[in-house]
Amino acid sequence: MQGLIQRVTHANVVVDGAMIGEIQQGILLLLGVEKGDDETSVDKLLHKVTHYRIFTDSEGKMNLSLKDIRGDLLIVSQFTLAADTKKGMRPSFSSAATPDQAEHLYNYFVEQARELGLVISTGEFGADMQVSLCNDGPVTFMLKS
C-alpha cells in the first residue's frame, strides 16, 4: 500500500462538477492499493500518515504530525500509484489490487481514519475526480506500509 502525502493549506475534490470533499490545513493523501495489501497494511499506513512529522513547530522545524496539529485529512483513491514505470513508455498496472479489493481497503482506511477524531474528507472511489490543492512548502512524501 502506498500513500502520497502532501502538506496543504487547503484542498478539495470535485466529481461531475460538484465539490464532494474539502479540507483546510492538513494532508491530502493519494492512496494506492496493491496486490497483497490487507487491513494490516492499512493500519500501518494510517499510523504513518497521521504521525509523520511534516508540520513545523515554533522553531520552523518539521517536528509536528497531523495528530499534533489536529489537521484535516483528505483521502483520495489513486490506483495509478501502483503503476510499474520501469520499462517502456506505458505504465503497467499488474501490481494493482483488483477493484473490489482496493475499494474494500480504501473504505476500511476511511473508517479507521474517522475513528481518530480528525476532520476527514474523501473523494469517490473509482470516479473521475478533479483534485485541487495548495501544497504548503511544497512538502510531499511517498509513504509505504
The residues that are catalytic are 78-80
Residue type, 55: F
Name the burial class of residue 94, with classes exposed (0-12), middle (13-18) and buried (19+) by CB atoms within 10 angstroms of its CB. exposed
CA distances from 49 to 20, 90, 127 (A): 22, 30, 23
The Cα 33–Cα 77 span in angstroms is 8
Q: Copy the grid coordinates of residue 10.
A: 487547503
Report yes or no: 123 and 20 within 8 Å, Cβ to Cβ: yes
Residue type, 21: G
Which amino acid is located at 64 in the chain?
A: L
